[in-house]
């Protein structure tokens, strides 16, 4: 009898596999770091072969850690870094170019062209998104225009496009299934979130043949079966969702108005807005959260490009810490930043500013500034960016957010979580299982395969671990917010073509 569900969580910095039992406990976990390639300033790539190999190897490792085989898996769910774009040859299965990662800025000028043509409103109306290099459509177009022979092959129907979920399903099913789910499709700038299909006008606008596109399915159904990867066990692949939407599901934000914030490489705050797409007045994104049993749920999203990655930069760029976990202790050596503000616009600014040309800035440096002040300002920068998003989310929806559920790697920092509660003035709630992304994917797959009867069976598995309550002087917080807003303004439109 199958006792477990496997979640494959393919993130920006690592591939992870987690195995859940029927009570929602994590029984096994394996993780492998993913190499980042920066071929030019502003470009970020991953090797699709490494993504696939690492994802299979962690799945096998997670099974062997608890001595089970694929035959004991009731199903597998996939969740992934979104927008990251792979184009491969349908016949050989070989990618024609590296995966272009969501953070990659090479298509910024093209996205400006779209804006200058007055197309922002059309794009926003159909897709819920901004004209920004973040999304997949412009990345596909770049590959077709720059890889020798790619456009011709695409026009002959020989190429396939996929976000990382599609790429993994294609590989898992031995090239039999070319599919994505609605949540991933809604991040491409090519998907009509009202009609829930690829938009012909947008495909034409970006010169992308429709034959490249995967079939769009719901987030919880059996898409196909694993062929060889798990020792011949034909495990059903039964759940797919983009990592941020999966985290919203895993945090059990199932009711309209519930909000979660995931602190990974970037930071992504999502609010469940129910069965209708909610269009923001403040440049938040409208996105499909998930679709199951014929019902579509939408979300409002604030995407922040640099969060935990700021701490990695303290480690790799500045060398002032050995690991991200050390940022906490270093920052605690001082009681405040000594007037230092750090805007981590390394790859531009996402919501709600959407400035592709903003760049990182530290302001307020003085002779007394130490690495401890910088570490504290770095942690504060993550919390300030979250504050900017939460404020406009409340404004947009006219809803008061009463608590923030948090997860992701950097939510492990107690100092960051306390700073966050102090700045927002609301409780920050960290659950027992902060692997919400994987939990969400497992739930979607477990529901599709009947491993769990219904959502009520799993909703009770979510539990609080720690609540961070606001304790700062609100007056102080108000002054700091004004200084932060000033610093953000100064970082804007810095980079030139």
What distance in Å separates the CA atoms of residue 254 and residue 246, rounded to the nearest whole number?
11
Per CB under 6 A, contacts with ligand ADP among 3-32 are: 11-14
Beta strands 99-100 and 179-181: pairing type? unpaired
Query: Is there a binding annotation on residue 162?
Result: no
**Could you give the CA distance from residue 370 to residue 324 in angstroms, rounded to a whole number?**
18
Q: Residue 131 binds which entry of ligand G3P, ligand ADP, none, with Cβ cut-offs from 5 to 8 Å by kind?
A: none
Of residues 192 and 244, the one with the C-beta less far from ligand G3P: 244
Minimum separation from the CB atom of position 123 to ligand ADP (A): 26
Compute the least distance from the CB of residue 174 to ligand G3P, in Å: 26
CA nearest neighbour of 311 among 338, 356, 346: 346
CB 244 → ligand ADP: shortest distance, Å? 10
Query: What is the Cα–Cα distance from 108 to 495, expressed in whole angstroms?
Result: 11
Q: Does 325 bind ligand ADP (CB under 6 A)?
A: yes
82 interface partner picked from ligand G3P, ligand ADP, none, CB below 5 to 8 A per type: ligand G3P
Q: Are 386 and 410 in contact (CB under 8 A)?
A: no
Does position 415 bind ligand ADP by CB under 6 A? no
Nearer to ligand ADP, 224 or 344 (CB): 344
Work out whether 353 is an interface residue with ligand G3P (CB under 6 A).
no
Q: State which residue, 414 or 469, has the beta carbon closest to ligand ADP.
A: 414
378 binds ligand ADP (CB under 6 A): no
Element (H, E) at 429: strand 428-431
CA 192, chain centre distance (Å): 20
Q: How buried is residue 11: exposed, middle or buried, by Cβ count under 10 Å (0-12/13-18/19+)?
A: buried
Which of 104, 199, 243, 388 is the binder for ligand G3P (CB under 6 A)? 243
Q: 14: annotated binding-site residue? A: yes
* Helix, strand or coil, per DSSP, at residue 201: helix
Contact 415, 430 (CB under 8 A): no
- Contact with ligand G3P (CB under 6 A) among 11, 77, 137, 352: 11
Instruction: Give the whole-angstrom CA distance, residue 20 versus residue 111.
Output: 41
Q: Are 422 and 450 in contact (CB under 8 A)?
A: no
Which of 288, 375, 410, 442 is the binder for ligand ADP (CB under 6 A)?
410
Residue 199 found at the interface with ligand G3P (CB under 6 A): no
Dist. CA 331–CA 417, nearest whole Å: 13
325's contact among ligand G3P, ligand ADP, none, with CB below 5 to 8 A by partner kind, is ligand ADP
Task: Choose from ligand G3P, ligand ADP, none: what does 327 bind? Cβ within 5-8 Å by kind.
Answer: ligand ADP
Question: What is the Cα–Cα distance from 80 to 11, expressed in whole angstroms?
Answer: 6
Q: Which region, judged by CB under 6 A, interacts with ligand G3P, from 75-83, 150-158, 362-370, 421-429? A: 75-83
Helices 120-127 and 108-116, interaxial angle, to 10°? 100
Using rule CB under 6 A, residue 264 touches ligand ADP: yes
Helix-, strand-, coil-residue percentages of the chain, each rounded to 5: 35, 25, 40
Rule CB under 6 A: is residue 265 a binding residue for ligand G3P? yes
Is the CB of 158 or the CB of 261 nearer to ligand G3P? 261
For 441-479, letters b (16+ CB in 10 Å) and e give bbbbbbbbbebbeeeeebeebbeeeeebebeeeeeebee
Rounded least distance, CB 393 to ligand G3P, Å: 17
Specify whether the CB–CB gap between 295 and 275 falls below 8 A: yes
Q: 264 vs 350, which CB is nearer to ligand ADP?
A: 264
Cβ nearer to ligand G3P, comparing 192 with 262: 262
Contact yes or no for 78/222 (Cβ under 8 A): no
Whether the Cβ atoms of residue 144 and residue 181 lie closer than 8 Å to each other: no
Residue 41 burial by Cβ neighbours in a 10 Å radius (0-12, 13-18, 19+): exposed
Site string for ligand G3P, 88-117 (x = CB under 6 A): --------------x---------------
Q: Is the CB of residue 107 less than 8 Å from the CB of residue 133?
A: yes
Q: Least distance to ligand ADP from the beta carbon of 32, Å?
A: 11
Q: Candidates 239, 409, 431, 440: give the one binding ligand ADP (CB under 6 A).
A: 409
**With 0-12 CB in 10 A as exposed, 13-18 as middle and 19+ as buried, what is 294?**
exposed
412 binds, among ligand ADP, ligand G3P, none (CB under 5 to 8 A by kind): ligand ADP
265 binds ligand ADP (CB under 6 A): yes
Q: How far is Cα of residue 317 from the mean position of the Cα atoms in its chain?
A: 23
244 binds, among ligand ADP, ligand G3P, none (CB under 5 to 8 A by kind): ligand G3P
**Out of ligand G3P, ligand ADP, none, which partner does residue 312 contact, by CB within 5 to 8 A per kind?**
ligand ADP
Closest distance of CB 13 from ligand ADP, Å: 4
Name the binding residues for ADP.
12, 16, 265, 308, 409
Q: Which parts of this chain interact with ligand ADP (CB under 6 A)?
A: 11-14, 264-265, 308-309, 311-312, 324-325, 327-328, 408-410, 412-413
Q: Which parts of this chain interact with ligand G3P (CB under 6 A)?
A: 11-12, 81-83, 102, 242-244, 264-266
Name the binding residues for sn-glycerol 3-phosphate.
12, 82-83, 134, 243
């Amino acid at each position: 009898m199958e006792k477990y569900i496997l979640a494959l969580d393919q993130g920006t910095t690592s591939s992870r596999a987690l195995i859940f039992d029927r009570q929602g406990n994590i029984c096994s976990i394996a993780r492998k770091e993913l190499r980042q390639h920066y071929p030019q300033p502003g470009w970020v790539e991953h090797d699709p072969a490494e993504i696939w190999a690492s994802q299979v190897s962690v799945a096998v490792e997670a099974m062997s850690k608890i001595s089970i085989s694929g035959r004991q898996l009731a199903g597998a769910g996939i969740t992934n870094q979104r927008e990251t774009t792979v184009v491969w040859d349908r016949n050989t299965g070989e990618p024609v170019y590296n995966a272009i990662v969501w953070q990659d800025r090479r298509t910024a000028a093209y996205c400006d062209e779209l804006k200058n043509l007055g197309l922002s409103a059309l794009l926003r109306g159909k897709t819920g998104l901004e004209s920004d290099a973040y999304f997949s459509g412009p990345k596909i177009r770049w590959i077709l225009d720059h890889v020798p022979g790619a456009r011709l092959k695409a026009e002959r129907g020989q190429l396939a496009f996929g976000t990382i979920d599609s790429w993994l399903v294609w590989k898992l099913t031995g090239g039999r299934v070319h599919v994505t789910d609605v949540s991933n499709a809604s991040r491409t700038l090519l998907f009509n979130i009202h009609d829930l299909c690829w938009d012909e006008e947008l495909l034409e606008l970006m010169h992308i043949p429709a034959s490249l596109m995967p079939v769009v399915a719901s987030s919880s159904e059996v898409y196909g079966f694993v062929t060889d990867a798990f020792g011949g066990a034909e495990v059903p692949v039964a759940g797919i969702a983009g990592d941020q939407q999966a985290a919203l599901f895993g945090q059990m934000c199932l009711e309209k108005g519930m909000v979660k914030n995931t602190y990974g490489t970037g930071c992504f705050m999502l609010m469940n807005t129910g069965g209708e797409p909610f269009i923001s007045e403040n440049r938040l994104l409208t996105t499909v959260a998930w679709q199951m049993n014929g019902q579509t749920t939408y979300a409002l999203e604030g995407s922040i490009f640099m969060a935990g990655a700021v701490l990695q930069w303290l480690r790799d760029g500045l060398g002032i810490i050995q690991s991200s976990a050390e940022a906490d202790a270093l920052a605690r050596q001082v009681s405040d930043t000594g007037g230092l503000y750090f805007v981590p616009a390394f790859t531009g600014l996402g919501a709600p500013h959407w400035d592709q040309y903003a760049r990182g800035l530290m302001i307020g440096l003085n002779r007394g500034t130490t690495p401890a002040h910088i570490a504290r300002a770095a942690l504060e920068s993550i919390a300030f960016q979250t504050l900017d998003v939460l404020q406009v989310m409340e404004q947009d929806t006219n809803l008061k957010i009463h608590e923030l559920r948090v997860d992701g790697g950097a939510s492990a920092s107690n100092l960051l979580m306390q700073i966050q509660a102090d700045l927002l003035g609301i409780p920050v709630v960290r659950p027992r299982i902060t692997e919400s992304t994987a939990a969400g994917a497992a739930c979607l797959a477990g529901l599709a395969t009947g491993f769990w009867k219904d959502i009520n069976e799993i909703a009770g598995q979510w539990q609080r671990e720690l609540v961070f309550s606001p304790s700062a002087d609100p007056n102080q917080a108000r002054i700091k917010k004004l200084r932060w807003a000033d610093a953000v303004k100064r970082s804007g439109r810095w980079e030139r073509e």
